[in-house]
Structure formats: structure tokens, C-alpha cells
A and B are shown apart, each in its own frame.
Chain A
Amino acid sequence: MTMVEPAIIIQGLTKRFQDFTAVDHLDLTINQGEIVGFIGPNGAGKSTTIRMLCGLLQPTEGQAFVAGFNVGRQPEAVREHIGYMSQKFSLYGDLTVRENLRFFGGLYRVPRHDRGERMAFAIAMAGLAGREDVLVRTLASGWKQRLALGCAILHRPPVLFLDEPTSGVEPEARRQFWDLIHELAAGGVTTLVSTHYMDEAEYCNRVALINRGKLVAIGSPSELRGHQLGGELFEMDCAPLGAALKVLTDVPGVEEAAIFGDKLHIVLSAGGITAGDLPGFLGARGIHADPPRRVTPSLEDVFVHLVSGSHETRGAF
């Protein structure tokens, strides 16, 4: 059996803007064919990391290898082997679908004999058959994003960086987008994809949680769900929610309390207040509460826990 090199190796990667550290000694290794989700609140440093991996920003410290090339020293070699979708849509709105594809095909030197077929594939994949000659700025965002993905994979890169590819896209179109990513991964393409949508983390092989430039957790969705809360999670209906939250934060045994929609999520550790005591405890303080139910933590619960543990970022997702 031959050793397969990881597609992406990140070692102590750091980026400072003046004296602000946007990415802080990040370590991460991603294997070929993996889909890794990059999750974190606004300003966590996701885009900055991806830009360094694409050779668009020079790392201040540390190093990273993409498809075997050093991103700081061999950015052009890196660019031959990656496809990138930037966070802000950045195809040419004043060019048609076909003109955009032909342009990027030219820049990536897609072999001529193959060009027609690959463009047709990208058009079909984006669901734009029949609209090849439409100006791109007139497309709805779901189509735009899929076309951008089409442009990014024209040259069949082994590594894909997608920076919030589904933001502002309809749920239905988002699902289709993820189907595409899975098809590509099945073909051996390695993907690092950042997202704000918690449900999308479930589509990833592994999820990397990043906050304030630091890697907070990494693992498969089930691994992350399985531990790390530091107690058992309960869900409770109570009113008023805000007052309940305030009262509970200082109670021994309450590891964590957070508002989730119209309910309260509470993590209780052993040795403190018990779930059965909660309604009475709150009732004595003028807060009406139903008996709490045990629930399996969602990824969101885990992230809130991890991020709030590292800092005051509760509710940032």
C-alpha cells in the first residue's frame, strides 16, 4: 500500500494585519477526497485562512502545503491545482455564462479538444442549459453560485476552496449545491468549504470550528456531537426566557444556558442542581417552567458551547 499524501497541510499558520491577529497558529491536515467544513462566527478568520491557502495573502508565520506546494513560496504552482470560489461573487456580470466559462477555461489552459465537453458539463451542472448567452448579472444567486463552482472546476483541480458558497442561496438550491460537492468528492476532489449554516456542517466528513483565529475543535459531526458539552443537555419551555437565562447562569451545576429559538437549552453537570429541581427553582423566582426534556445535542449546541467557552460569543451563529 502506498502512502497517500494529505491534500492540505497547515502548520502554525498565522496572519496578522498590523497588530491584529486574524489567524492564530492554525494546525490542520486534510486528506485527499475529504470534505472539511470550516465553521466559525463572523470575523473568525475563515476567509483569511482560505486566502492564504490560495496564495492570495502571504502568511505572517507558519506554513501550509496545498497539493504538495508551499503556499507562501510557490503560489503559482498552488493556483494550478486549486479551484477557488471567493466569498463575494466574483464572476464577470457583464459577460454571458458562456463568455465567463470560456475566459476561465482560457486562463486555466483547458485543453482545446476537451473544452467544449467541460463547458457543457459546467453548464449542465449549474442548470443553465439554454441560458448560455444570458448576462451573468441577471442570474439569481443560486445559479450564479453554481456557475462560479463550474468556473472553478473547469480545469479539474484536485483541491477546492469554497468560501461561503451557499450564502444567500435558497435552501433547495443549497441542497443541490452540496450534492455537487459530494459528487466531486466521490471523484477524489478535496474540499475545504466555509459556511455559516449549521445544518451544512452535517454534510461534511469533518468539521473544523474556528473562533478568533484559533482552531477550537475538529472532528466528524458525530464525534463533535458525542462529547465536549461537559454535561447533559436539556431543553425546557419557560417564560420569560430572558429572566430564566439570567437566573440560571450563576447556579451551581448549570454549565451552560442558552436560548434556542423559543426554548432554553441547559447543560447540567453532575453534583449540582438536577433537572427535576429546575421548575421548582424557577417557579420560586416567578418564572413559569415546564419540566425539562433530555435532548441529543445538535452541532449548534456544541459550537455554542465551545465558542462561548473560549469567549463571549454566545449567539454568534
Chain B
Amino acid sequence: MNIRRVFAMAFKETLQVWRDPRSLAIALLMPVMQMVMLGYGVSLDIKHVPLCVYDQENSQESRAIVERFTAPGWFSISQTLVSEADLRNAMDRGECSMAIVIPVDFSRTLATTGSAPIQAIFDATDVNTTNIALGYAQGTVAQANAQTSAQWKAAHGVHPSPVGQVDVEPSTWFNETLDSRNFIIPGVVAVILALVGAQLTSLTISREWERGTMEQLISTPVTALEVMLGKLMPYFLIGLLDAAFCLVSAVYWFDVPFRGSLGTLFVTTVLFLIVVLGIGYLISVRIRSQLGASQIALLVTMLPTTLLSGYTFPIEQMPAPIQAITLIVYPRYYVTILRAIFLKGSSLPDLWAPLLGLFIFALIIIWLATRAFHKRLD
């Protein structure tokens, strides 16, 4: 390997990225847009979850319950309903993420037994919002339960029977939901790097084929390894830049606490970048058009990364077979690592398990990538 040829490659590639609007947009704009979209997606919706209320009784007690939901600002009533059909329509049209139904005999049941059921219906299409709304709802109901229960005991001397009471410890739910932004934003960083990294390098070899410059390039003595290293070098720096941007905005814009060390963060980020850039490169070697390569890269990274990396939907809550599949969804390791570094201040030894996963991936990718490119036209 000759370092001068590697640098010649890297310099040329940098010039091309600099002069190619598409590459520049992916390198610089995409992370900003995704940080805004994904970051705000998780942190703003949680404030005013649209709520539909179908209050069949419309008594003082029932209105008090509704008030409990809306007072803290977590829910905003988007609609007041008057029939079952209304309810179905509102849910179908996605006008609310959650609906509560208060039965017609609510206050009477409450007065006679000390507890009364209310129904909560969730629109589960947005898993993230649903989870959080469910948490709020359970917390609200539990709080109401505790108060009613105390009043009942004061009046009757015994606790009411626990019919219809929520059997979830409200405090844990509350902590989880309040921390959800801190929990999710580090995952967002991982998702963005996974998407952007693969997009960037997916263009690099395919560009040479598409523009017809490949034939001249491979007629020179440059080796396949030098081509790979030279081409990946600028994207590696861009990846680090994007990582720095995401991390800074996580800490200073989204106020996520950063409790770990920058050194740990750097080492793990380097490892992750090797994997994501390598995957884009592998795609680029096989697909000879830029558009095709970037679409394949999007397809390969987007779905698994957003659904199976555990960045919004916890892997522990997935069905066992899906959990097994996530073992090959490489961003999951970095999601876990980032979360631990941010929130728990973990150091490298604490992170050995996800690091091992990432490391194995990096080795496989390096092995494949060094063999992928051949200086042949056939």
C-alpha cells in the first residue's frame, strides 16, 4: 500500500464531494433535518397529546376525572364526543391519539363501591406516542385512585375493593415518560449516523461507474485497497463532523445530560462509523448508478434502523423472534452504547457487550469491503 496514492484518492474525492450538491446535502443538510424531525418528533408531541372524550354521564365526578387528564398539559381535548359512532370516526381519522370513555353510571358506581372503571382507547400507530400517553393515563388514573381510596377509607374505615384500578406502579411510569426524551435522543443520533453514513459512501464507487471515470482509474497502478481507503477517508471525517453536530445539539439543544467521557464516545463512534461507511461502500461497489446505490442504501438502512434498533421501541418489549433478528441490526449496539454513555456515564469496560457486537460487525464489514472491489471491467 502506498500512502501517497491513498492521499491522492482522498484529496480528489474531497474535491468531488465539495463540488457535488447531492453529496454536500447528504453530508451537511440531512443530519440537521433529521435531528430536527426525529428530535422534535419525540419531544414536542409529548406535550399535547390529542385526546377525545366521550363522557356518557357528564356529571361533576366525570368532569373531575377529565380535568385530571388535561390539567398538567399532557393532553389537550381535541374533540368531545356524543356517540359510539363519533368515537369510531374520530379514531379512524386519527383525530386523537387517545380517547377516554366514561360510562353512564360512573358516579353511582363510584359512590357505592369506591371504584369505577373508565375505558381508555389508544391509537397505536405511533408506538412512541402511545407508550407515553399510556404512561400518562395510567399515572393520572392511579393518582385519582389513590385520592378516592383515601377519601373512601376516611368515610368507610376500609379500603375499597380494587376493581378497575390500574395495577401498574405509577411512579416508574412517570419516570420513564419524563425521561423519554433523554432516552430517545441518543438513539436518534445513532439512527442519523447510520442513515447518513451509508448514504454518503453509497455514492462513492457508483459515481465513478456512472460518470465513466472508472475505466481510467483502474488502468492506473492504484490498488483496490488504496481506492477503498482513499475514498472512505473524507467520508470518515464528514461522519465525525456529523456525529459532533448531533451530539452537540443533543446536549445543548435538547438538553440531554451527558455523563460519560468524550474519549469513550470517540472510540465507539469511530467503530460505528467503520460499520456504516463500510456498508454504504459495499453497496456502492455492486450498484453502478448513484441513484440506485443510494436508494438501496436507504432501503437497507432505513427500515431496520428505525424499527428494530430499539431507539424508540424497546427491544425487550419485542416478541422473541424479532429480538433475535435485532442482533444483526447493527445500530442497536450503538444505540445502547450512546444511551449508556449519555445517561449512565458508562466507560468502555461497562460497555463490553454491545462493543463486542459492534466489533464483530466492524470485522465482518472490513473483511468484506477489502475483498469487494476488483480492478476489472468483467
CA–CA, A106 and B217, complex, Å: 12
CA–CA, A51 and B376, complex, Å: 10
- B212 / chain A contacts, CB cutoff of 8 Å: 86, 88-90
Instruction: Flag A89-120 by CB within 8 Å of B: 1 or 0 each.
Output: 11111110001001111111100000000000
With A94-B16, A107-B222, A109-B2 already in contact, 7 other A-B pairs whose C-beta atoms are closer than 8 Å: A58-B376, A86-B216, A90-B213, A90-B215, A93-B211, A94-B15, A109-B221
- A88 / chain B contacts, CB cutoff of 8 Å: 212, 215
How far, in Å, is A165 (CB) from chain B's closest CB? 13
From 145 to 195 in chain A, residues with beta carbon under 8 angstroms from any chain B beta carbon are: 148, 151
Q: A107-B8, A109-B5 are in contact. Are A84 and B15 (CB under 8 A)?
A: no
- B174 / chain A contacts, CB cutoff of 8 Å: none
CA–CA, A57 and B2, complex, Å: 24
User: Within the complex, which residue of A56, A92, A99 is in contact with B218, where a contact is CB–CB below 8 Å?
Assistant: A56
**Are B376's CB and A57's CB within 8 A?**
yes
- Residues on A facing B (Cβ under 8 Å): 17, 51, 54-58, 75-76, 79-80, 82, 84-86, 88-95, 99, 102-109, 148, 151
**Are B221's CB and A80's CB within 8 A?**
yes
* Chain B contact surface mostly: helix
CA–CA, A103 and B10, complex, Å: 10
Task: Enumerate 30 A-B pairs (CB-CB under 8 Å) in ascending A order.
Answer: A54-B219, A56-B218, A56-B219, A56-B376, A56-B377, A57-B378, A58-B376, A79-B220, A82-B219, A86-B215, A86-B216, A88-B212, A90-B211, A90-B212, A90-B214, A90-B215, A92-B12, A92-B16, A92-B211, A94-B15, A95-B12, A99-B15, A102-B8, A105-B8, A106-B9, A107-B8, A107-B222, A109-B2, A148-B216, A151-B216
- A75 / chain B contacts, CB cutoff of 8 Å: 375
CA–CA, A102 and B221, complex, Å: 15
- B375 / chain A contacts, CB cutoff of 8 Å: 55-56, 75
- A93 / chain B contacts, CB cutoff of 8 Å: 211
Give the residue among B215, B220, B375, B376 with the most A Cβ atoms within 10 A.
B220
Q: A84-B216, A92-B213, A93-B211 are in contact. Are A106 and B221 (CB under 8 A)?
A: no
How far, in Å, is B225 (CB) from chain A's closest CB? 12
Does B19 have its Cβ within 8 Å of any Cβ on chain A? yes
**Are A56's CB and B220's CB within 8 A?**
no
- A82 / chain B contacts, CB cutoff of 8 Å: 219
CA–CA, A274 and B75, complex, Å: 107
Which residue in chain A gives the minimum CB-CB distance to B2? Answer: A109
- B4 / chain A contacts, CB cutoff of 8 Å: 106, 109
Which residue in chain B gives the minimum CB-CB distance to A93? Answer: B211
CA–CA, A108 and B2, complex, Å: 10
Q: A90-B216, A95-B16 are in contact. Are A107 and B211 (CB under 8 A)?
A: no
Give the residue among B4, B7, B223 with the most A Cβ atoms within 10 A.
B4
Give the residue among B9, B216, B223 with the most A Cβ atoms within 10 A.
B216
- B16 / chain A contacts, CB cutoff of 8 Å: 92, 94-95
How far, in Å, is A121 (CB) from chain B's closest CB? 19
User: Within the complex, which residue of A17, A57, A95 is in contact with B15, where a contact is CB–CB below 8 Å?
Assistant: A95
- B2 / chain A contacts, CB cutoff of 8 Å: 109
CA–CA, A88 and B221, complex, Å: 20
Q: A56-B376, A90-B213 are in contact. Are A103 and B12 (CB under 8 A)?
A: yes
- A107 / chain B contacts, CB cutoff of 8 Å: 5, 8-9, 217, 220-222
**Are A108's CB and B220's CB within 8 A?**
yes
Does B352 have its Cβ within 8 Å of any Cβ on chain A? no
How far, in Å, is B213 (CB) from chain A's closest CB? 5
Instruction: Report the 4 A-B pairs with minimum CB-CB distance, sorted nearest first.
Output: A106-B8, A90-B216, A84-B219, A86-B215
CA–CA, A89 and B216, complex, Å: 9
Which residue in chain B gives the minimum CB-CB distance to A80? Answer: B221
Give the residue among B4, B11, B16, B221 with the most A Cβ atoms within 10 A.
B221
How far, in Å, is B207 (CB) from chain A's closest CB? 10
From 1 to 55 in chain B, residues with beta carbon under 8 angstroms from any chain A beta carbon are: 2, 4-5, 7-9, 11-12, 15-16, 19-20
**Are A57's CB and B377's CB within 8 A?**
yes
**Are B5's CB and A106's CB within 8 A?**
yes
From 192 to 249 in chain B, residues with beta carbon under 8 angstroms from any chain A beta carbon are: 211-223
Q: A54-B219, A58-B376, A58-B378 are in contact. Are A91 and B8 (CB under 8 A)?
A: no
**Are B5's CB and A94's CB within 8 A?**
no
- B215 / chain A contacts, CB cutoff of 8 Å: 56, 86, 88, 90
